[in-house]
C-alpha cells in the first residue's frame, strides 16, 4: 500500500511538471509571428502532446540539486522544442517517410515538406533563445548550451541520424551491425536524454562526481528508451503508438533485428538497472529512478 501511494505521488509530481511545460510552450505559441501559417506550423508538433520524458528528466534532476521549477522550466521546455525539431525532420520523406506522429498527421503532411523543413530549423535555433531567457546565471547557461549543442548536434543526435540513414541505405557496408546499432542508439536517442538530465542538474549545484554519474544514468536510460521503441515497433499497437511501424519498411537497424526480440528486451532491462545503480545513493533520486523504470515498462 505504501509503495502504491508513493508511486501515485511520483506520478502526480511528473504530471505537474508535464503540465508546466505544456502551459509554457502554449504561451510561447501565443507570441505573434509573420506569416501566421508559420506560427501555426512552428508549434504544431511541440503542442501535439507527447510524454515529455525529457522535460521531466530536466526538472527532476534540477530538483535533486536544489533548483526549483522556476529555474528549470525554461530548460525543460527548450529541450522539448529541440526534440520536436528532430521529430519533424525524422518524419520527412527523405528520412523515415512517416505520415503520422503521436496519432496525428506529421508536420509535413499538414504544412508541406518545405515549411516543415524550415520549421525544424526554426525550432532548433529557437531552443537556445529560450535557454538564454532562463532565470539562471550566465555561467550555468554556457554549460547547458555546451552540453545541449553537442548532444543534439554533431556529437550526438545529428551524427546518430547520419549513421542511421547511411546504414539503412546500405552505404556503410563492412561495418558490424552490432556496432552500428549501438552507435545509432547511443547518439540518435540517448545523447539528448543524457543532456536533459545533465542540463537539469546544472540548474542546481551538483559536484563533478554526481554530474558524471547522472551523465552515465542518462546514457544507459537513453539507450534503453530506444531499444523499447524498437521492441514496440514489433509487438506494440499502432493506435497506441500513434504512428505506423516503419522500421522494417525503411530497412532500419534496430535491436530486435540485430539481437532478436527477447534479448533486446533483456538488454533494455539490464541498462535500466545500470542507470539506477549510478544514482540510487544520491539524495533525491527517487523520481529519476522511477522514470528509468517507466521507460522500459511503457506500451507506447
Beta bridge partners of 105: 100
Average pLDDT over residues 129-134: 98
On whether the CB atoms of residues 213 and 278 are closer than 8 A, the answer is yes
Residue predicted with more confidence, 102 or 20: 20
Helix (H) or strand (E) holding 84: helix 69-91
Percentage of residues in the chain having pLDDT higher than 90: 86
Residue 253, phi-psi category: left (phi > 0), alpha (psi -120 to 50), beta (remainder): beta
| pLDDT level of residue 7 (50, 70, 90 thresholds) | low
Q: Is the pLDDT of residue 161 over 90?
A: yes
pLDDT-wise least confident of 22-26, 169-173, 201-205: 169-173
Q: What confidence score (pLDDT) does residue 50 get?
A: 87
Q: Residue 57 is placed in which grid cell?
A: 528528466
Q: What confidence score (pLDDT) does residue 49 get?
A: 79
CA of residue 165 relative to chain centroid, distance: 19
Single out the residue of 56, 89, 106 nearest to residue 157, CA to CA.
89
Q: Is the pLDDT of residue 298 over 60?
A: yes
pTM of full prediction above 0.85: yes
Q: Is the pLDDT of residue 234 over 80?
A: yes
| pLDDT level of residue 300 (50, 70, 90 thresholds) | confident
Q: What confidence score (pLDDT) does residue 1 get?
A: 41
Separation between Cα atoms, residue 163 and residue 160, nearest integer Å: 5
Count of Cβ atoms closer than 10 Å to residue 186 Cβ:
18
Q: Residue 116 is placed in which grid cell?
A: 516543415
CA distances from 191 to 156, 183, 185, 225, 264 (A): 5, 11, 9, 11, 19
- Mean confidence (pLDDT) of the chain: 93
**DSSP symbols for 208-270:** HHHHHHHHHHHHHHHHHHHHHHHHHHHHS-HHHHTS---TTTTT---HHHHH-HHHHHHHHHH
Question: Tens digit of pLDDT for each residue in 188-197?
Answer: 999 999 999 9
CA dihedral 14, 48, 253, 53 (to 10 degrees): -10
Helix (H) or strand (E) holding 131: helix 113-132
Phi, psi of 229 (to 5 degrees): -55, -45
* Residue 133, CA atoms < 13 Å, CB-side half-sphere: 11
Residue 187, phi-psi category: left (phi > 0), alpha (psi -120 to 50), beta (remainder): alpha
Sign of CA dihedral 15, 284, 195, 182: negative
Q: Residue 209 is placed in which grid cell?
A: 562526481
Separation between Cα atoms, residue 195 and residue 133, nearest integer Å: 19
Average pLDDT over residues 140-150: 98
On whether the CB atoms of residues 75 and 140 are closer than 8 A, the answer is no
Helix (H) or strand (E) holding 86: helix 69-91
Is the N-terminal amide bond of 249 cis, ω within 30° of 0? no
* Residue 79, CA atoms < 13 Å, CB-side half-sphere: 32
Q: What does the angle CA 13 – CA 15 – CA 20 come to, to the nearest 5 degrees?
A: 95
| pLDDT level of residue 150 (50, 70, 90 thresholds) | very high
Question: Tens digit of pLDDT for each residue in 26-74?
Answer: 999 999 999 999 999 999 999 997 899 999 999 999 999 999 999 999 9
Amino acid at each position: 500500500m505504501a509503495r502504491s501511494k508513493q508511486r501515485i505521488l511520483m506520478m502526480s509530481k511528473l504530471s505537474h511538471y508535464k503540465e508546466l511545460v505544456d502551459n509554457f510552450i502554449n504561451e510561447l505559441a501565443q507570441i505573434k509571428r509573420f506569416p501566421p501559417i508559420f506560427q501555426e506550423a512552428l508549434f504544431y508538433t511541440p503542442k501535439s502532446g507527447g510524454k515529455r520524458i525529457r522535460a521531466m528528466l530536466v526538472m527532476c534532476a534540477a530538483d535533486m540539486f536544489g533548483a526549483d521549477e522556476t529555474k528549470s522550466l525554461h530548460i525543460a521546455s527548450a529541450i522539448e522544442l529541440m526534440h520536436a525539431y528532430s521529430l519533424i525532420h525524422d518524419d520527412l520523406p527523405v528520412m523515415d517517410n512517416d505520415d503520422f506522429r503521436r496519432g496525428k498527421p506529421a508536420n509535413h503532411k499538414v504544412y508541406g515538406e518545405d515549411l516543415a523543413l524550415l520549421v525544424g530549423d526554426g525550432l532548433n535555433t529557437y531552443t537556445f533563445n529560450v535557454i538564454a531567457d532562463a532565470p539562471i546565471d550566465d555561467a550555468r547557461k554556457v554549460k547547458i548550451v555546451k552540453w545541449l549543442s553537442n548532444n543534439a548536434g554533431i556529437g550526438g543526435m545529428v551524427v546518430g541520424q547520419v549513421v542511421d540513414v547511411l546504414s539503412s541505405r546500405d552505404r556503410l557496408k563492412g561495418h558490424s551491425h552490432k556496432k552500428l546499432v549501438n552507435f545509432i542508439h547511443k547518439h540518435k536517442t540517448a545523447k539528448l536524454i543524457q543532456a536533459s538530465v545533465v542540463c537539469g542538474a546544472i540548474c542546481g549545484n551538483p559536484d563533478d562526481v554526481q554530474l558524471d554519474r547522472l551523465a552515465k544514468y542518462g546514457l544507459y536510460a537513453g539507450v534503453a528508451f530506444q531499444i523499447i521503441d524498437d521492441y514496440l515497433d514489433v509487438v506494440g499497437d499502432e493506435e497506441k503508438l500513434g504512428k505506423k511501424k516503419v522500421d522494417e519498411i525503411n530497412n532500419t537497424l534496430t535491436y530486435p533485428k540485430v539481437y532478436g526480440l527477447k534479448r533486446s528486451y533483456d538488454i533494455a532491462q539490464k541498462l535500466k538497472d545500470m542507470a539506477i545503480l549510478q544514482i540510487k545513493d544520491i539524495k533525491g533520486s527517487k523520481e529519476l529512478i522511477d522514470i528509468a523504470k517507466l521507460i522500459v515498462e511503457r506500451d507506447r
